[in-house]
Amino acid sequence: MAQPQFAYQVQHRQGRVRAGELITPHGRVETPVFMPVATQATVKSLTPEEALAAGAQMVLCNAYHLYLRPGVSLVDKLGGLHRFMGWPRPILTDSGGFQAFSLGALRKVDDAGIQFRSHLDGSLHHFTPELATRNQEGLGADIIMCFDQCIAYGSSKEEVRQAMERTHRWARLCHQAHAASSRAEAQALFGIVQGGTFPDLRAESAAAITRIPFPGYAIGGLAVGEDKAQMYQITQQVTDLLPQDKPRYLMGVGSPEDLVESVARGVDMFDCVLPTRVARNGAVFTRQGRVDITARRFAEVDAPLEADCDCYTCCNFTTAYLWHLFRAKELLCLRLASIHNLRFILRLMAQMRQAILGDRFEEFRREFLDAYRPTDEAVRQAQKEKWLKARGG
């Protein structure tokens, strides 16, 4: 009997926490897993070899951006995303729903889909659930996402309900379109649970989305402005409502403390631009927290960023050298900081997996959180709002 092109198996449980394995057409992925974001078919400033060396098993590409440039038909003609970007491992694409959400005044949402103007040239486009599905099929990703409506934090309950119900209708249309596609067997389509920070809406959404037999389920609409306590509460609520035998994907989350806390709540998959985005601004991860490498106190540090880090940056360069590169605005600083941050996150995921397999996750979680100092909540919220505003402008 032929092996399935997509499958998921839980290999070990420790309470809510799981270690598992995804089988995809482009290889196996050990979970919990973090997917570096390759927005425009590249992890910014890194080669595929560097991303692989950092421990990346799978990357996320952005269907909205690739639809606008260079175009889905061109990527398909040239052999699909894997060949186009030289990435041999699995790829997940998002549908474009979050990008449409972040466009602000440039988009208009109705039951048929999302109409928007390109942030590149102002041209008018209209995404429907069917088109969003066909776009991702054409890109050739291993896992593709349903088209959904993400809604801003602080919206009224009625607005959140309307967006949630629209997401449910679109999920059914995406599932029907994908089931009829000749590429259905080679790609897995995941459904997305919405409902904002309203527990009753989240329960309703989880029930509606899991009635559709998707091979995996995502939690959307978090990390968009709510505080961490709310995010953790909703994450745990939804994972408890999702099938035990299918992967759970928390979209857009990548802070180290959030990864640990979300794995503790039963999440298997993550993606976020955070590790590489903050790296390009001089913020690097350490076991004690995030630090600003451009600060004067690092100018004479004749040691790597982290003594026990095995990334290319820490194995070959001092902290003082990285400080110098940022102060001199040399392009190499972007690569070296990104390599370190990516390796920090991917190593953290591997360490959590080993802790789960060894029945010592709670000990690992406690030790990590005791040592790690998260970014101040007010600063984090301000940075998030600034980023979302920039995306919408």
pLDDT in tens, 69-95: 999 999 999 999 999 999 999 999 999
- 260 and 285, same domain (yes or no): no
Secondary structure (3-state) at 273: coil
Q: How far apart are CA 242 and CA 219, in angstroms?
A: 10
- 243 and 331, same domain (yes or no): no
What mean pLDDT is predicted for residues 5-27? 97
Higher pLDDT, 389 or 318: 318
- 151 and 108, same domain (yes or no): yes
pLDDT score for 209: 98
Distances (CA, A) of 147 to 164, 228, 249: 12, 26, 15
pLDDT score for 379: 63
pLDDT at 313 over 50: yes
pLDDT at 166 over 60: yes
pLDDT bracket for residue 393 (50, 70, 90)? very low
Where is mean pLDDT largest: 2-11, 345-354, 371-380, 383-392?
A: 345-354
Q: Which domain holds residue 292?
A: 279-371
What is the chain's Cα-based Rg?
20
pLDDT score for 105: 72
What mean pLDDT is predicted for residues 294-308? 97
What mean pLDDT is predicted for residues 228-243? 98
390 falls within a domain: no
- 232 and 89, same domain (yes or no): yes
382 falls within a domain: no
Number of domains the chain is built from: 2
Distances (CA, A) of 345 to 20, 62, 236, 297, 338: 18, 21, 22, 24, 11
pLDDT at 333 over 80: yes
Residues in contact with 308: Cβ distance below 8 Å, sequence separation at least 6, in sequence order: none
pLDDT at 32 over 70: yes
Q: How far apart are CA 271 and CA 37, in angstroms?
A: 7
393 falls within a domain: no
What mean pLDDT is predicted for residues 92-107? 81
Q: Which residues share a beta bridge with 93? A: 61, 144
pLDDT at 102 over 90: no
220 falls within a domain: yes
pLDDT at 391 over 50: no
Q: Which residues share a beta bridge with 60? A: 37, 92
Q: Average pLDDT, whole number, for the chain?
A: 94
* Phi, psi of 247, deg, nearest 5: -70, 150
Distances (CA, A) of 305 to 47, 201, 286, 299, 301: 22, 44, 7, 12, 9
- 196 and 287, same domain (yes or no): no
Catalytic residues: 94, 271
381 falls within a domain: no
pLDDT bracket for residue 1 (50, 70, 90)? very low
DSSP state of 344: H
pLDDT bracket for residue 392 (50, 70, 90)? very low
Q: Which of 240, 272, 304 is the last residue of a domain?
A: 272
Q: Which of 210, 243, 272 is the last residue of a domain?
A: 272
Q: How far apart are CA 62 and CA 245, in angstroms?
A: 27
Pairing of strands 269-272, 33-38: parallel
pLDDT at 384 over 60: no
Amino acid code (one letter) for 156: S
**In what order do the strands lie in the sheet containing 124-127?**
107-110, 113-117, 124-127
- 268 and 322, same domain (yes or no): no
The runs of H, that is alpha helices, within 265-376 are 274-279, 312-316, 319-327, 332-357, 361-371
What mean pLDDT is predicted for residues 306-327? 98
Taken in order 24, 52, 16, 260, is the CA torsion positive or negative?
Answer: negative
